[in-house]
Amino acid sequence: MNSVISACELSARIKPFYPGLDADMIMRAYDFCQHAHQGQLRSSGAPYYTHPVAVAAILADMHLDPSTIITALLHDVVEDTAVTLEEISTDFSPEIADLVNGVTKLTKVEMQSDNSQAENFRKLVMAMSNDIRVLLVKLADRTHNMQTIFAIESPEKRERIALETLSIFAPLAERIGLSNWQNELEDRAFEVLYPEARQSIASRLEYLTEASKDIIEKIIGELRSYLEVSGVACQVTGRTKTLYSIWRKTQSKNVDMEELSDVMAFRIIVEDEADCYRALGLLHRHYPTVMGRFKDYISTPKRNKYQSLHTALIGPFKKKIEVQIRTEDMHRTAEDGVAAHWRYKTSNAPVNSHEVTRINWINDLVDILERAETPEEFLENTQLEMYSDRVFCFTPKGWLIVLPAEATAIDFAYAVHSDVGNTCVGVRINGKNRQLATKLSNGDQVEILTSPDAIPNAEWEDFMATGRARSALRRFLRLKKEAEFSRLGRALLAKSAREASLEVSDEMLETCLISFNAEGVEHLYALVGEGKIKPIDVLAKIDPDLRPMRKSKTRNKKSTDEEALDIKGLIPGMAVHHGHCCYPLPGERIVGIVTTGKGITVHRVDCSVLEKFNAMPELWLDIEWKREGPTRLTGRLIVVLLNEPGTLASIANLISRHDGNISDINLLGRSSDFFRFQLDVEVKHIRQLNAMLGAMRASKFVESVEREKI
């Protein structure tokens, strides 16, 4: 942490822009602040007075007037100490007392958690409408608090402060043109709320920067050289975009960072407005442009007086870049917004409050505020033009939910809580039933309808606008799928263990997790249930002696199966095989095909494979079953099951009740609503399989079930 600056250092930062500065008043305010907060500590353990001093230093670097700097030094004394506004008015000035009072009111608004956020926002607009410097002090206060936020021990409190910063204070900084403060507030809130995403983007950006070390300087050099040779004097600077702005673009465009190529931005400063358009024309003639990315904020300035030309090019070295073109005056306004009034001020003339505080957009909000009957109506009527890329909506209790533009009702549900999203069954918007895919508008009141038995739909992702909603949905579906397969895998492994006369416990399975790259026992069960690992392979890891026995049993089983084919009309001495194309069962009409080197293969009479033998009648044998075989034969089924909890377990129980046995299972496909499986079921007769099929088709979990046909 940087050491606290002294009163002399603070005065030295102010004096170049205010030569007539009363340094003694700065010193008195500094001492007053230090004495008033004596004995108070911050969360970091530092003396509390270091915070208002840091806020004052931030404002001094913005070249704000001495009254604003003194207000920053005193902004917490009325709220946190016994000092009164009357004392401040007497010891300093009525102007400073009014400013401190305005900041104190804003602080109280923040602390009124019993009010809805719509009401708090209304009060915030009223407080800052009297003097914009109140908001400047509050933004500097929030900036320093975010710089030191990790000194707060409670993660919940850190997240609450960061969310409020991202929802209210960063957009306010943007709205009054303080882009540097906006960027810092967004990035520090981003670090608190989405640390993993931020680190991932930072690592990727570092890699891209390292991969093209000098590319920014080379692009700057080429742009400057080209424009100056063409007769346009200019300054060119370049930078990579902020981590938060890159993240927001990945969210709004629903792309990974690897798909983003325009992570570099360049600024061209020219002498006058005419040169802005000359430079733009030269660049557009020389480099291919990215369609749809040109904006003219010079002829049509933003509400915060921001002016610049924006364009995107396939620039030098075939790099996709964004370019801003502006004059020096436009640049000062873009960097400092309303604070640009004070920059380079060289006299002691008093600040004209009417000149600097009556900002049009605030006046517009106040005018609407005075006509609105409720805070919610105020927020709805303003349409929050200050947040052009966001929508502000409310819960039925009046709590504010901030979402990106194009967000839908399902984004709102997950923004409230992941559990609300996962159990969502419907939505009412402004009292009317609407679809979950409905896009939200500013001021909408959104009521999410939930059911404890509901499960989310994977197709929701198609109309989600927020990464938070997508990640929560994916996580739920992933865990649900793993749980289903884990239950099935546990049953299959227990069955195989019984057949091998083994007792298997979770503790025993932990010894072989590494062999199957399983993260845990439940994951191992899931791999078995999904068919990626055979139960016998797991048992063989636990008991190595089981492997040769398994091979022996397999050979014996094959021999037994062939003997089980007790069929009339066979050629004596020839090997007989159960057709694995149609899996014929006792009780069905069958035919034999003589195959060179393989013996006789038994098929159902409706097997499609028989078509290729139509021209070879000499290979056909007229055969039929003698009786029901002494052992079970396999019937192969294709089953489509609902994607709901308990589905697989229900079908396994149903098969067991009909004296069937699942010998193999294979997942063929999965959608948002259904699983498609290939099931091998051992039965003794076609009657048994047909009864099983009838019961399965009557199950609420089964969409369809058929015998496999090739």
Distance between CA atoms of residues 416 and 420, nearest Å: 7
Give me the numbers of helices (H) and strands (E) for the chain, helices first please: 29, 20
110, amino acid identity: E
Give the separation between CA 113 and CA 225, rounded to whole angstroms.
57
CB within 8 Å of 370: residues ≥ 6 apart: none
Strand partners, 419: none
80 tagged catalytic: yes
> What type of residue is 672?
S
Largest CA distance in the chain: 120
Query: Rounded to the nearest 5°, which phi and psi values hold at 500?
Result: -95, 5
Structure tokens of 46?
């530092």
Dihedral of CA 647/649/654/659: which sign? Answer: positive
Distance CA 390, CA 328 (A): 30
The structure tokens 């109280």 sit at: 108
Q: State whether residue 244 is helix, strand or coil.
A: helix
- The rounded distance, in Å, linking the Cα atoms of 266 and 322 is 6
Kindly state the DSSP code that residue 439 receives in the 8-state scheme: B
- The one-character DSSP state at 250 is H
CB proximity list for 113: less than 8 A, separation 6 or greater: none
| Residue 625, helix vs strand vs coil | strand
Q: Does the annotation count 355 as an active-site position?
A: no
Q: Alpha-carbon distance 34 to 77, whole Å?
A: 10
**E strand or H helix at 538, and its extent?**
helix 535-542
Q: What DSSP state is assigned to residue 582?
A: T
Q: Give the tokens for residue 354.
A: 């009417």
Rounded distance, CA 619 to CA 394, Å?
77
CA distances from 142 to 7, 55, 101, 525 (A): 22, 9, 17, 50
Q: Indicate which residue of 31, 79, 206, 380 is catalytic.
A: 79
CA distances for 500 relative to 535, 547, 676, angstroms: 11, 11, 29
Integer Rg of the chain from CA: 37
Give the separation between CA 360 and CA 307, rounded to whole angstroms: 16
Question: Helix, strand or coil for residue 513?
Answer: coil
Listing DSSP states for 123-185 in one string gives: HHHHHHHH-HHHHHHHHHHHHHHHHTGGG---HHHHHHHHHHIIIIIHHHHHHTT-HHHHHHH
C-alpha closest to that of 695 among 668, 657, 663:
657
Catalytic choice (31, 61, 76, 80): 80
Catalytic residue numbers? 79-80
